[in-house]
């Protein structure tokens, strides 16, 4: 029995869990030594990763995969790193489709901030080859391709290559590229390419600017993250997640990128959504305060209306989705599982349903189905809009 029954649900956020060294298979051999030197990521397989790989070969362990489909997390999850297992994962989950992101490459290894432009472009190409190959086993798996903005002239080329490989969405960092704005007019060919292809531009957590470490120097013992380490978020560093996407969306709206490409959709994935109503109101307030600016007078509508037209976001399961809908719009929010990451929880459907208590069926359908179809455009085969058993409903 699948986790989801009786409703078409599209999953706007899932991941692969690359084993160490996976990216090396997709890098240009000429770039591997430089990649290791700059990132410290060697082509190795530590003992516990080897154990995880061996575990997925154990018949007894695999026999419990369906019962543990949302209980087993990270490398223990079915289909976490073995592409041939991921179709069965979708069968067990019952999702109609799943947008798939990397885990290891979410920040493009920090190469753009290092000024390593050529290596950043090659790492992006390797990522795109890896993601599209993994997702090629099942059309329900929607691969994401990464496009660095650091080289404005070559960004469309990277995007075109990713689309040709089979990417169904194009990820860009939510932080600004070094030295210029993401609204720079020389990036218009990138937006035009995505709009023509009917594919969304996506932001994902990991591509934002992190909280300055000075904030953590409070004279007290350092707080560990929820994994017991220091690589993920704590209650304090979590607060910085929306700052980059807030600024990037602001310039994309105010500088007219949304208006120049009115059919281009943007998705903010695993960045939360409680900030969205405030951003919309703050943008409208800014336009009222600085209304004499010529660029503001040229906008097709109020910024909040422009965002409703083109932006879709995924709330965290601990957020109040009903409140976000009431204050931002029913058309703006999407379901996501974050499979197989721990952060997604072991019963995301229940948590989201609880937060949707009192919301009508039409709005629920938007959250679980319609808004995702709208975001993905041509990236989602119409035959996948509904589960086969519900297609005639």
pLDDT in tens, 268-303: 999 999 999 999 999 999 999 999 999 999 999 999
Would you state the structure tokens that stand for residue 195, as one six-digit string?
């709009």
Burial of 203 (0-12, 13-18, 19+ CB in 10 A): buried
Share of the chain above pLDDT 90, in %: 87
The confidence score (pLDDT) of residue 391 equals 60
Q: Which has the higher per-residue pLDDT, 191 or 43?
A: 191
In words, the CATH class of domain 10-390 is alpha beta
Contact by Cβ (8 Å): 296, 303 = no
Query: Average pLDDT of 163-189?
Result: 98
For the segment 359-376, what is each residue's pLDDT rounded down to a tens digit?
999 999 999 999 999 999
The confidence score (pLDDT) of residue 3 equals 97
Would you state the structure tokens that stand for residue 373, as one six-digit string?
């179809």
Contact by Cβ (8 Å): 137, 84 = yes
User: Poorest-confidence range of 77-81, 172-176, 209-213, 351-355?
Assistant: 209-213
3-class SS shares of the chain: helix, strand, coil, % to 5: 50, 10, 45
Rg (CA), the chain: 21
Query: Average pLDDT of 87-110?
Result: 97
Query: Average pLDDT of 228-245?
Result: 83
Q: Cα dist. 115→29, 111, 178, 204 in Å?
A: 21, 6, 8, 21
Q: Write out the H or E segment, with its range, that includes residue 170.
A: strand 169-171
Residue 393's pLDDT band (cuts 50, 70, 90): very low
CA–CA dist 344, 235 (Å, integer): 16
Farthest-apart Cα atoms in the chain, separation: 69
């Amino acid at each position: 029995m699948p986790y989801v029954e009786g409703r078409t649900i599209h999953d706007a956020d899932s991941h692969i869990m690359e084993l160490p060294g996976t990216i090396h298979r997709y890098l240009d051999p000429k770039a591997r030594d430089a990649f290791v030197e700059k990132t410290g990521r060697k082509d190795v397989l530590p003992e516990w990763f080897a154990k995880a790989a061996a575990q997925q070969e154990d018949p007894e362990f695999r026999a419990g995969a369906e019962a543990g489909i949302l209980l087993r997390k990270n490398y223990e999850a079915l289909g976490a790193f073995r592409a041939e297992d991921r179709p069965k994962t979708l069968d067990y989950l019952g999702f109609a489709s799943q947008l798939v992101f990397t885990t290891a490459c979410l920040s493009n290894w920090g190469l753009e901030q290092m000024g390593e432009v050529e290596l950043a472009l090659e790492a992006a190409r390797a990522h795109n080859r890896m993601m599209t190959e993994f997702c090629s086993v099942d059309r329900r798996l929607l691969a994401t391709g990464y496009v660095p903005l650091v080289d404005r002239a070559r960004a469309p080329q990277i995007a075109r290559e990713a689309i040709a490989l089979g990417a169904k969405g194009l990820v860009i960092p939510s932080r600004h590229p070094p030295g210029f704005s993401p609204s720079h007019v020389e990036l218009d060919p990138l937006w035009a390419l995505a709009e023509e292809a009917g594919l969304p531009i996506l932001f994902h957590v990991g591509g934002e600017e992190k909280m300055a470490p000075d904030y953590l120097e409070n004279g007290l013992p350092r707080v560990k993250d929820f994994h017991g380490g220091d690589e993920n978020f704590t209650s304090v560093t979590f607060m910085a997640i929306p700052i980059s996407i807030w600024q990037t969306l602001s310039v994309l709206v105010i500088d007219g990128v949304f208006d120049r490409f009115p059919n281009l959709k943007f998705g903010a994935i695993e960045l939360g959504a409680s900030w969205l109503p405030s951003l919309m109101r703050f943008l409208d307030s800014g336009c009222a305060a600085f209304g004499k600016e010529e660029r503001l007078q040229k906008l097709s509508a109020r910024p909040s209306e422009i965002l409703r037209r083109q932006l879709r976001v995924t709330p965290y399961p601990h957020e109040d989705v009903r409140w976000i809908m009431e204050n931002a719009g029913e058309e703006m929010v999407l379901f996501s599982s974050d499979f197989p990451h721990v952060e997604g929880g072991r019963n995301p459907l229940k948590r989201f349903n609880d937060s949707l208590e009192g919301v009508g069926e039409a709005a629920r359908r938007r959250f679980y189905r319609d808004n995702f179809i709208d975001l993905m455009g041509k990236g989602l085969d119409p035959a996948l809009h509904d589960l086969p058993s519900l297609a005639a409903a």
